[in-house]
């Protein structure tokens, strides 16, 4: 388990091919997201799966939203945007479902919980032998994309988890030294 955590790496979406997880495998992978730390048991997450021809429809949604957002976007770029969902056999959209003005749990904590769910799902995918990558970009924020996915304006798409079978083993990645990110606190900073 520790070795898996220490060596986890994302895979480029284009290097994720069929097969996607079966429905039984996917249920288990997504269920890992339900263990996300969650202040006040709000369950502020929703997972949306997109597979098969629905990926073409999502590509069309991305393309139309990009053109509307910036009508000067060149046609070649719009064509590339339309192809994006076709890179991998499965996409899981992770949504933070926001309760505004919650007495205990500010919005950032709800978004963090959805982020934790995303990581847990990604780790469960790794543990099940699948590759994945967490992507965002404008499609996480454009109102027309959110609306087409049935995501309320107040809610937040925290990411698109592209998932599939790695075409080749992930190359080992060099990680930063822990010392660059760690300090021990002993007394108030004056």
Ligand X SMILES: Cc1cc2nc3c(=O)[nH]c(=O)nc-3n(C[C@H](O)[C@H](O)[C@H](O)COP(=O)(O)O)c2cc1C
What is the number of other CB atoms lying within 10 angstroms of the CB of residue 150? 11
Q: Is 48 in the site for ligand X (CB under 6 A)?
A: no
Residues 154-173 that bind ligand X (CB under 6 A): 159, 173
Tell me how far, at minimum, the Cβ of 149 lies from ligand X, in Å: 16
Rg (CA), the chain: 18
7 binds ligand X (CB under 6 A): no
What percentage of the chain's residues is helix, strand, coil (to nearest 5)? 45, 15, 40
User: Which residues touch 64 (CB under 8 Å, ≥6 apart)?
Assistant: 144
25: helix, strand or coil: helix
In angstroms, what is the minimal distance from the CB of 161 to ligand X? 9
Q: Which of 7, 31, 83, 136 touches ligand X by CB under 6 A?
A: 136
Least Å distance, CB 147 to ligand X, is 20
Q: With binding defined as CB under 6 A, does residue 174 bind ligand X?
A: no
Number of residues that bind ligand X (CB under 6 A): 9
- Least distance to ligand X from the beta carbon of 167, Å? 16
User: Helix or strand or coil: residue 29?
Assistant: helix
Q: Is 9 in the site for ligand X (CB under 6 A)?
A: yes
Pick from 19, 37, 52, 137: which binds ligand X (CB under 6 A)? 137
Neighbours of 182 (CB within 10 A): 7
Tokens linked to 55: 């990926």
Q: Could you tell me the CA-to-CA distances from 125 to 17, 87, 163 in Å, in that order? A: 14, 17, 8
Least gap, CB of 180 to ligand X (angstroms): 15
Which residues of this chain interact with ligand X, rule CB under 6 A?
9-10, 133-137, 159, 173
């Amino acid at each position: 388990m520790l070795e898996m955590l220490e060596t986890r790496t994302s895979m480029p979406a284009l290097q994720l091919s069929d097969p996607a997880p079966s429905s039984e495998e996917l249920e288990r992978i997504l269920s890992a997201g339900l263990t996300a730390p969650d202040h006040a048991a709000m369950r502020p997450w929703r997972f949306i799966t997109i597979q098969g021809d629905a990926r073409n429809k999502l590509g069309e949604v991305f393309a139309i939203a990009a053109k509307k957002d910036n009508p000067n976007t060149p046609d070649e770029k719009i064509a590339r945007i339309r192809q994006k969902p076709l890179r991998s056999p499965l996409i899981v959209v992770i949504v933070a479902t926001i309760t505004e003005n919650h007495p205990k749990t500010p919005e950032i904590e709800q978004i963090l919980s959805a982020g934790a769910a995303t990581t847990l799902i990604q780790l469960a995918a790794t543990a099940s032998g699948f590759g994945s990558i967490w992507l965002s970009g404008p499609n996480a924020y454009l109102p027309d994309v959110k609306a087409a996915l049935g995501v309320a304006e107040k809610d937040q798409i925290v990411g698109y988890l592209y998932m599939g079978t790695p075409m080749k083993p992930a190359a080992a990645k060099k990680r930063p030294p822990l010392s660059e990110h760690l300090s021990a606190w002993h007394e108030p900073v004056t």
